[in-house]
Amino acid sequence: MNKKLMAVAVAGAFAIPAIALAETSAVELYGRGHLGFSQYSATGATAGVASDYLKRSRVYDNGSRLGVRGSEDLGGGMKALLVIESGVNIDTGSGNGQANTANPSTGTFASRDSYVGIGGNWGDVRWGRQSIFWANGVISQMAANYVETEISFANAASMGRVGGPSARVSNVMSYNSPTVAGFNGSVSYAPNSEAAAAGTNTNATITGITVRYFGKVNVQFDRGVNEAATPETATGNRLKITGTKLGVGYPYAPGAQISLIMATDTNQDVAGTARFSALHDTVKATAMTLNWEHIAGNIQYLAMLGKLKAATGCTETAGANPGLTGTTCAGTEATAIMLGVRYLMSKRTALYVSYNSTTNGANQTNDYTGGNITSANPINAGADPKLLAVGMVHNF
């Protein structure tokens, strides 16, 4: 059964007018299965061996999904767009990740990027669940398409002690421009107060802007701002998280690229974190990640090297012991590597081996949290997470 006929069958199961879909021939069923076997550990915690996560073996799922996408020609250069993409955990059949905690990108219909939109030669407007800020696009596709996971702070969705502005976000409206002279961009907005209680302020928002350039070099700039609602009391904090990323890639040969990502996350007016920040602090973290990918025949070689500087802006407590007592930014640096080799069996199927290692400072908590791939929730300060994985990716 081909993809379009399969899409009609799926549409009928979900009460979509199957006859109309068949007539337009513009709906496609697609997906991915990405599973493997890995060993995870997070040892060397500042608090001692009792706070370590010892080596454990896992069968894991990373970003498996099932989707339906379609379009309709409306005439006059206009078209309607539809994407409904659902994450599936083929390893467990549930919505939980490796730490047995809920993975918001799986377990329900339309849990991944899903939207309806209208477009033309001016670009398109979309409404639905969409990604803001965190994806690195062609600058780095390590975790998105290639291996189990990448360096934990490469996409700046989290820098351990300092959080990023957003990842995949519900209730988003976006404008996405056409590509002109190699440039395109996206602007996103989410009114993040839809579920606010009666009598509370409703001015929480998430906004994002992405600008891309494709040519002899690839460039992507991202900025995201996640601002909480104004507090009801004068003693409360209004958290504002701002993230900025600049990625530059040099595609020196077909299937080969060297790229650099520079990122900063700022958390303004925080509630405070034990042994790190105090109420109303503004803390900031900066990271740099170097990426390399190269295809030779059926073999793809991958490598990443990252450095996270110690955070700044903490209220320093006299006599603070990083990761144990008081509040301090000391000991929040980290370094990380990822090495991988993929065997490209076809255009849609690949086998791979990958190794990840992060060395955290005594007060840092960086971990492989994307897609709930970690086995800990969270790791303890100073612990150094490691992953050795053998996996398979099949796209259809």
Fold of 3-395: Porin (2.40.160)
Read off the pTM: 0.90
pLDDT (tens digit per residue) in 125-166: 999 999 999 899 999 988 888 999 999 999 999 999 999 999
What is residue 370's three-state secondary structure? helix
pLDDT (tens digit per residue) in 207-234: 999 999 999 999 999 999 999 999 988 8
pLDDT of residue 142: 86
Q: Band of the pLDDT at 100, cuts 50, 70, 90?
A: confident
Retrieve residue 267's tokens. Answer: 């958390």
pLDDT of residue 329: 98
- Judged against a pLDDT cut of 70, whether residue 11 lies above it is answered with no
Q: What is the mean pLDDT of the chain?
A: 92
pLDDT (tens digit per residue) in 366-385: 999 877 789 998 899 999 99
CA–CA separation, 4 vs 9, rounded Å? 9
pLDDT of residue 95: 86
Burial class (CB in 10 A: 0-12, 13-18, 19+), 78: middle
Amino acid at 300: Q
CA–CA separation, 368 vs 389, rounded Å? 13
- Judged against a pLDDT cut of 60, whether residue 237 lies above it is answered with yes
Amino acid at 66: L
CA–CA separation, 130 vs 225, rounded Å? 15
**Look-up of token digits 């021939």:** 25
pLDDT (tens digit per residue) in 51-71: 999 999 999 999 999 999 999
- Judged against a pLDDT cut of 50, whether residue 20 lies above it is answered with no
284: β partners: 266, 312
pLDDT of residue 3: 55
Say which DSSP state 102 is in. B
- Give me the residue spans of the domains in the chain: 3-395
pLDDT of residue 116: 98
- Judged against a pLDDT cut of 50, whether residue 183 lies above it is answered with yes
- Judged against a pLDDT cut of 60, whether residue 21 lies above it is answered with no
What is residue 379's three-state secondary structure? coil
